Every structure is written in C-alpha cells, then in structure tokens.
Amino acid sequence: MDKFVIHGGRRLQGSVTISGAKNASLALMPTSLLAPGKYELSNTPRNRDVTTFSHLLESLGVQAELNGNTLVLDSSNITSHEAPYEQVKQMRASIYVLGPLVARFGEAKVSLPGGCNFGPRPIDLHLKGLEKLGANITLEGGYIHAHCKRLQGAHFHFDVSSVGASVNIMMAATLAAGHTTLTNVALEPEVTALALMLIKMGARIEGLGTTTLEIDGVDELKPVNDSTIPDRIEAATYLIAAAATRGSVTAHNVDAHHLTAVLQALEDSGCELDVTENSIHVNMDANPKPVDITTAPYPGYPTDAQAQWSAYMLNATGTARIKDTIYPTRFGYVPELHRLGATIDTDDSSCFVKGGARLTGATVMSSDLRASASLVIAAMMAEGESEILRVYHIDRGYASIETRLTELGASIRREQTAEY
C-alpha cells in the first residue's frame, strides 16, 4: 500500500493540464451497454475508478482498452447481466449498469453498493425511477433483481436532486416505449454531458440544462465516439492548493463555466484570478480572508470540493464555516487535520475552521477521495514532513497527482508502506 511523504512550505507555481472528468467518464462508459458496437471516449482520465469500471464492463462481456487517454469499448458481445458484489463494493457508480441492462435486455442483477465512509448514500431514487418505468424490482441476497418485458415511458420526479439517479433513469428512459418526463433532474455538467452523448447515439431528449427532461423512447441506439469534459473538481483542487500555498498557478483544459461557485469563493478570499475560455490563473500572496461556504447541487458550491476548502481556510485571518447540505456528515478529514495542528470544531452539518493555527507535519490517514486531497493540501501548508497513508483513495480520482504537484514545485513523493 502506498503513502505520500510531503515537505510543506513551498509555493505552487507554474501550470497544470486538467484531466477529463472522472464523474463524466463513469457516466459515459455504461452507455456502451445500450447499443452493441465500438465506442471511443477521448480525454478519458487515467485513474483507478475508470479502471474499476472497465473491469466491471469486462465482466459483462465488453472489451475495454485505454490507450493513452482514449478508452475504446466494444460491446458487440454482452455475455452477462450481473454486476457482482466483488466489483460493485469497490465503487458506488457501478450501479450505473442497472438502468442500461434492464432497458436493453429486460433483466439485470446488480449488487447493492453497501456503505460509504462519509455517510448514508441511499439508491432509492434509482429503484423508484425504474419501477416507475415499469421494471419489477426485488432485493434479495444483497442484490437488486430487475425484470421487465420493455420499459414504458412515464413521469418521474426526483424527490432529491441526484446525479446518479438522473444518470441511471435518463439512460433507461431512452429505450423505454413512449414518452418519459423527468423532473428535478440534476444539472451537474456530467449529467448534461451524458445527455449530449445519448442524443449523438440517437436518443430523443429535450430540456438539457433545465431540471425537466422530455424523452421519447426509441427502439435502438447506435454506438458513437465522444470526448470527456474537463474535471471541474480536479481543477478546483489544484486552484485551491495553489491559493493555500500562496502560489501562482494556471490550470489548462478547464471549463470555467463549470466552476463559478468555486471561483467566486476564491475571489472572495482575496485571490487574483485571470479566467479565459479554457484556462484559469490564480495568484495568492497573502493569507486569505475567511470565506464561509455552503455546498449545494450544481451550480452551487460542490460537496466534492468542500474538504479542500477547509484545508485552505486553515491559513485564513479568521474563522470560516463549511456547511455540507448534500452529505452533512462528510467531515471525516477533520480529526486528521487536527493531527497537523488545526483548530476546527464541528456540528451536525458543518465545520468551523479557525484560521492562523501553526501547522506542523504529522502522519495522517486518508478516508476517502476528497478527504485525502484535503490532507495533501494541508500537508503542503504545514512546516516539516508529513506522511499521508492509504493514498489508494486519492488514486481513485486524481491521475498521477504527486508528479503534477512536483512539477508545480511541491516536495511530494510516493512510497510503499508495510501498512495493511
């Protein structure tokens, strides 16, 4: 198992090219189950979650090959409609095969995803949506069993704005007989990117960019090639890291429109920003002002960038409140930041970061993907050496982060540990 060794106190400087979005790739890959044939997805990030999803698709009979950043999927010969626990337990997004399998083959057996480090993550909307489209759903032996002759168009309202349920039900509705109306659909760019690919495949979807989608089902779709949008959360992480180290960094291959809430918060904290169509330059040479954030569904401040913000606020000239309305208990990183010398209180849905504490290096433990990004940022802010354990979490969503941070001037290296 790997760890990172980081010596803090260095300003990040230079430029970084942002990868394709993990959460867009994970939404595009299961479309290959909707129509037999070859798909090429360019700008695919080389991270562990993409590899895990490729293995899942391979267990269903899809051939998957990642050449550089182009993922080639061939779904000409699907051999199974079952997503086993061994695969699904590694990554919740595995549930995305459920909608396409039941829509195309009339049956699916998918393991329930199980628990998550940062709190309850139900999938009731995925199941209710498919039931509304006429699927017969039973839960048995830790598995979802879904059957139907053919899905039927219907009106389904998402009680909560859900990225995952929107992805699953939108894919399923494209092959349902008749018309489907989906309301309170998630607006995240990854959901819109999926809808655009489905339309390229021949789906009839209207209302993109709004919370209401009108979908006329078709009898069949066709395989296409597509390109993955930039990763707004990876971009946010590098921009916040730059500000936290009082650095000067340009992120390339970004879509600034996807980052309005994050850029507003950076500006409010005192950063200088220079934003173009596909690059963002941030410069920070002072301690930030304390800026409160409250996460919300897109275009609000993303929950996937709140832990990074908490680390940044450790340098602030006052106290900042970080409130998470999507995952109220997503503060597992706080005790680890305490180990670096941070002063942070928490309540039932927020943490309160008291800026100005002297941070010193320590050994800390990653608990999930974004929590580990927060620890890397804080370790770069701290004096001395830190060790970050269980970095397999960060490898899930950040391609070669230590190499890119080193190119920006950080002192970070990956080492093997005997830890189990």
> Of 213, 225, 272, 182, whose CA–CA distance to 31 is shortest?
225
Tell the smallest beta-carbon distance from residue 299 to ligand EPZ (Å). Answer: 12
- Spatial distance between the Cα atoms of 281 and 25, rounded to a whole number of angstroms: 26
Give residues 271-290 in contact with ligand EPZ (rule: CB under 6 A): none
Residue 12 or 163 having the CB closest to ligand EPZ: 163
Helix, strand, coil share of the chain (percent; to 5): 35, 25, 40
Stretch that binds ligand EPZ, among 31-39, 77-85, 158-166, 347-355 (CB under 6 A): 158-166
- The binder of ligand EPZ chosen from 369, 378, 380, 410 (CB under 6 A): 369
- The binder of ligand EPZ chosen from 14, 114, 122, 142 (CB under 6 A): 122
Stretch that binds ligand EPZ, among 3-11, 116-124, 262-270, 316-324 (CB under 6 A): 116-124
Contact of 3 with 414, CB cutoff 8 Å = yes
Burial 44-73 (b: 16+ CB within 10 A, else e): bbebbbbbbbbebbebbebebebeebebbb
6 interacts with ligand EPZ by CB under 6 A? no
Amino acid in the structure at residue 255 = D
Tell the smallest beta-carbon distance from residue 1 to ligand EPZ (Å). Answer: 20
336 phi, psi to nearest 5 deg: -75, -35
Q: Where are the alpha helices (DSSP H) in 144-188?
A: 163-173
Compose the 317-336 pattern: x for residues touching ligand EPZ by CB under 6 A, - for all others: ---------xx---------
The yes-or-no answer on residue 116 being catalytic is yes
Q: Please list, in sequence order, all residues whose beta carbon lies within 8 angstroms of the beta carbon of residue 235, skipping any fewer than 6 positions away.
A: 18, 251, 254, 259, 280
Q: Please list, in sequence order, all residues whose beta carbon lies within 8 angstroms of the beta carbon of residue 398, skipping any fewer than 6 positions away.
A: 47, 234, 237, 369, 373
Compose the 398-417 pattern: x for residues touching ligand EPZ by CB under 6 A, - for all others: --------------------
Tell the smallest beta-carbon distance from residue 362 to ligand EPZ (Å). Answer: 24
165 interacts with ligand EPZ by CB under 6 A? yes
Summarize as ranges the residues that interact with ligand EPZ (CB under 6 A): 22-23, 26, 92-93, 121-126, 160, 162-165, 186, 190, 303-304, 326-327, 369-370, 397
Q: What residues are labeled active site? A: 116
